[in-house]
């Protein structure tokens, strides 16, 4: 009698642990999704994989780090400073670095040279950060760092992850609203569907590229702000998120914003639930394997449009 009761509580405990890691995967996954939204947006409009994406995230993280460390402010108050800065960072990067190459190859729908330029930007940004800030891992202690929310049933969630989850959904909805209703949003969507037709309708395509790139980096900056309270900052931090973001973006469908967030959540859940059964390096392998399998079976991903592959 007591034996079965014990088994039952064991089972309950295990369910609680699984539930907790599911929730944690959901939270962390949504933040992964947020790191990938900018990448998918830029791809959707420019048809270019931005290899500097991880470095942009790194820049955003350093910006947030210094904002918080120097002023001692609440970590989420850094957002209104970092996000506009990152918008202009991306805007001018597109204007002065990527646009010249883009114009040379404007007849090519998917210019490889542009991908290479973004990789050059990656090398420069990462190594400049190494030269300026050193290879040190920097951790910022904020009012939310290490704090937990306690849910009934002994379930603990890290506060900064919960805030990150909320911010992901707010920014996702805002972006969705912006693209659907505003004139600029419509112009961006038109350009991503058919850049020549959009140009003929009076849309200045280069301005759209700059704006889209700016929005992409701004969202990535937001992701940086969300990560800093619980993730250490170092010059090559972007690479980890880079590859993951590429996978997420293909999983969700290149160019799709809801797809990126959902793809992020899937990857997050695989990581956290998988970590209960195997070493974390193996979950990484599962994700790579899943990604290749997906490319073979359904390359459009979850929400990708047919004409984009």
Partner 1 sequence: MKALADSKANKYFLAAVLLIAVLIPQVITSPSIMQILILTLFYAYLTSSWNLVGGFAGVLPLGHSAFIGIGAYTSTILYLHYGLSPWFGMLAGGVLAAVIGVIIGIPTLKLRGAYFALATMAFGEGLRVLVENVDTIGPLKVNGPRGLLINLTGNSFIDYQFTSKASYYYIILALLLIILLITWLLMRSKIGYYLSAGGEDPEAAAALGINVPRYKVMAMAISCFFTALAGTFYAQMFLYFYPKSILGLDMSFEIAFIALIGGRGTILGPVLGALLLRPLNEFTRIYLGGILPGMHLVIFGLILILVMIFQPRGIQEPLTRLYRRILYRIKGS
Q: Which of 8, 11, 88, 123 binds partner 1 (CB under 8 A)?
A: 123
Shortest CB 126 distance to partner 1, Å: 7
Which is closer to partner 1, CB of 140 or CB of 250?
Answer: 250
**Stretch of 183-191, 195-203, 224-232, 235-243 contacting partner 1, by CB under 8 A:** 235-243
**Stretch of 19-27, 115-123, 154-162, 169-177 contacting partner 1, by CB under 8 A:** 115-123
According to DSSP H, which parts of the chain are helical?
A: 2-46, 53-71, 79-93, 99-104, 112-133, 159-181, 183-193, 195-200, 205-227, 237-252, 257-277, 280-297
Q: Does 101 contact partner 1 by CB under 8 A? A: yes
Write the CB contacts of 84 (distance below 8 Å, at least 6 apart in sequence).
Answer: 218
Q: Does 116 contact partner 1 by CB under 8 A? A: yes
Q: How far apart are CA 233 and CA 229, in angstroms?
A: 10
**Contact in structure between 48 and 110 (CB atoms under 8 Å):** yes
Shortest CB 149 distance to partner 1, Å: 33
Q: Does 275 contact partner 1 by CB under 8 A? A: no
Residue from 223, 45, 61, 208 nearest 126 by CA: 61
Q: Scan residues 18-57 and list those touching partner 1 (CB under 8 A).
A: 43, 47, 49
Q: Scan residues 278-297 and list those touching partner 1 (CB under 8 A).
A: 279, 281-282, 284-285, 288-289, 291-292, 295-296
C-alpha angle with apex 297: 293 to 303, nearest 5 degrees?
A: 100
Shortest CB 196 distance to partner 1, Å: 16
Tally of CA atoms within 13 A in the half-sphere of 253 that contains its CB: 15
Q: Which of 113, 159, 199, 232 binds partner 1 (CB under 8 A)?
A: 113
Shortest CB 239 distance to partner 1, Å: 8
Q: Does 119 contact partner 1 by CB under 8 A? A: yes
Q: Scan residues 144-203 and list those touching partner 1 (CB under 8 A).
A: none
Q: Does 253 contact partner 1 by CB under 8 A? A: no
The DSSP string of 264-302 is HHHHHHHHHHHHHHS-HHHHHHHHHHHHHHHHHH-TTTT
Task: For residue 11, count other CB atoms closer than 10 A to its CB.
Answer: 10
Q: Which of 27, 247, 262, 266 binds partner 1 (CB under 8 A)?
A: 247
**Contact in structure between 168 and 34 (CB atoms under 8 Å):** yes
- For residue 41, how far is the Cα from the chain centroid? 11
C-alpha angle with apex 69: 31 to 81, nearest 5 degrees?
A: 60
Write the CB contacts of 176 (distance below 8 Å, at least 6 apart in sequence).
Answer: 257, 258
Q: Which of 10, 13, 14, 110 binds partner 1 (CB under 8 A)?
A: 110
**Stretch of 151-159, 163-171, 213-221, 276-284 contacting partner 1, by CB under 8 A:** 276-284
Q: How far apart are CA 197 and CA 202, in angstroms?
A: 9
Which is closer to partner 1, CB of 94 or CB of 171?
Answer: 94
Q: Which residues bind partner 1 (CB under 8 A)?
A: 43, 47, 49, 97, 100-101, 104-105, 110, 112-113, 115-117, 119-124, 126-128, 130-131, 135, 235, 239, 243, 246-247, 250, 254, 279, 281-282, 284-285, 288-289, 291-292, 295-296, 299, 308-309
């Amino acid at each position: 009698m007591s034996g079965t009761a014990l088994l039952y509580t064991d089972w309950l405990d295990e369910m609680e642990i699984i539930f907790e890691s599911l929730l944690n995967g959901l939270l962390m996954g949504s933040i992964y999704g947020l790191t990938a939204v900018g990448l998918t947006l830029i791809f959707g409009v420019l048809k270019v994989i931005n290899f500097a994406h991880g470095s942009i995230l790194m820049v955003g993280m350093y910006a947030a780090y210094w904002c918080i460390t120097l002023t001692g402010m609440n970590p989420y108050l850094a957002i209104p400073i970092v996000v506009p800065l990152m918008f202009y960072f991306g805007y001018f990067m597109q204007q002065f670095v990527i646009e010249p190459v883009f114009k040379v190859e404007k007849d090519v729908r998917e210019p490889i040279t542009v991908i290479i330029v973004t990789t050059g930007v990656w090398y420069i940004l990462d190594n400049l950060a190494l030269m300026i800030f050193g290879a040190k891992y920097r951790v910022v202690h904020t009012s939310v760092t290490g704090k937990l929310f306690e849910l009934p049933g002994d379930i603990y969630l890290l506060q900064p992850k919960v805030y990150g989850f909320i911010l992901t959904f707010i920014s996702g909805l805002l972006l969705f609203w912006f693209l659907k209703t505003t004139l600029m949003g419509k112009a961006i969507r038109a350009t991503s569907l058919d850049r020549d037709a959009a140009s003929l309708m009076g849309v200045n395509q280069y301005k759209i590229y700059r704006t889209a790139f700016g929005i992409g980096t701004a969202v990535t900056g937001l992701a940086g702000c969300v990560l800093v309270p619980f993730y250490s900052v170092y010059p090559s931090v972007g690479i980890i998120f880079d590859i993951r973001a590429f996978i997420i973006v293909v999983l969700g469908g290149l160019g799709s914003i809801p797809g990126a967030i959902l793809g992020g959540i899937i990857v997050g859940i695989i990581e956290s639930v998988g970590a209960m059964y195997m070493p974390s390096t193996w979950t990484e392998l599962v994700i790579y394997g899943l990604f290749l399998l997906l490319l073979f079976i359904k390359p459009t991903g979850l929400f990708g449009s047919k004409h984009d592959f």
